Amino acid sequence: MTAQIINGKEIAAKKKVEIAEHVATLKSQGVTPGLAVILVGSNHASRTYVTNKEKTCKDLGMYSLLIEMPEEVSEEDLLAKIEELNGDPAIHGILVQLPLPKHIDERKVIETISPVKDVDGFHPINIGRMMTGQNTFLPCTPYGIMVLLEETGISIAGKNVVVVGRSNIVGKPVGQLFLNQHATVTYCHSRTKDLKLHTKQADILVAAVGIPNFIKADHVKEGAVVIDVGINRNEDGKLCGDVAFDEVSEKAGYITPVPKGVGPMTITMLMYNTLKSAEQSLT
């Protein structure tokens, strides 16, 4: 079987058109959705992500505020900036780009962001709401994966979903979203014994481990849906995912490429969450 490619770039573009239309409506009612992004230090990858977020905000007609802080900024100053943004009516979403320098407690930072402006969906209150299936801000990458599947017409209820990776940002929440949609979910990670035994059962396999080309054809069931969350560089410096695309795409039914797969959906769902927050500020 040769897999059908799930084109995340195309699906993201469609969603962004819808979001821009809603932004225009809100603006006609006097509200411009505003996203504040805090970048601490000069991590190269973080800067690229943040620049992309700023550009997308502007493209969709939203207000974007970039706050840059030096690597040595104190935790106290960072928390004070977040508190200031919590009280700023022009800001509907606050995102602190991770990772943060070692001297700053990431948990404290996340918990200082007001849950009503937590467009990353990382605050424990919003995580709790997600776990109990309530309306909330869903974390952007997991949410983007669910939208990709929905737009591709792939059903989830009753499917065996295997998530490889258990990060707080992707692995754990994406498994929860699949469970909320009635899938049978298995989490695999670095201590899993006989990984293939599990991954070969997957109707939908999510790879979120951060190791280039980790998932090979012999991990995958014929016809499975393979979602690759990895953004890695191979030995030649070329962008690649966690899935060995060439061999797995010969066996899978559907596959997301890297780039142009999950990546474009992450920013799109961030924009969606910011729009939703601005809409909620009206009620």
Catalytic positions: 53, 97, 120
Nearest distance in Å: CB 234, ligand GUN: 20
Residue nearest to ligand GUN (CB): 98
Exactly one of 82, 140, 220, 240 binds ligand GUN (CB under 6 A); which one?
A: 140
CA atoms of 182 and 160, how far apart (whole Å): 10
Chain residues 147-176 in contact with ligand GUN, contact rule CB under 6 A: 169
CA 222 to each of CA 7, 87, 183, 276: distance values in angstroms, whole numbers, following the listed order: 20, 52, 19, 39
223 in a known ligand binding site: no
Exactly one of 56, 64, 97, 213 binds ligand GUN (CB under 6 A); which one?
A: 97
CB-nearer residue toward ligand GUN: 22 or 123? 123
User: DSSP assignment, residue 237?
Assistant: S
Exactly one of 3, 50, 82, 95 binds ligand GUN (CB under 6 A); which one?
A: 95
Length of the chain: 283
CA atoms of 278 and 244, how far apart (whole Å): 40
Best CA proximity match to 278, nearest among 16, 30, 82, 4: 30
> Near ligand GUN by CB under 6 A, which window of 24-32, 79-87, 90-98, 245-253?
90-98
166 in a known ligand binding site: yes
CA 265 to each of CA 140, 184, 260: distance values in angstroms, whole numbers, following the listed order: 8, 24, 9
Does 91 interact with ligand GUN (rule: CB under 6 A)? no
CB-nearer residue toward ligand GUN: 27 or 47? 47
Best CA proximity match to 223, nearest among 205, 245, 246, 241: 205
CA angle 82, 281, 105 (to 5 degrees): 20
Which residues are at the interface with ligand GUN (CB under 6 A)? 95-98, 120, 140-141, 169
List the binding residues for NADP(+): 165-167, 231
List the binding residues: 165-167, 231
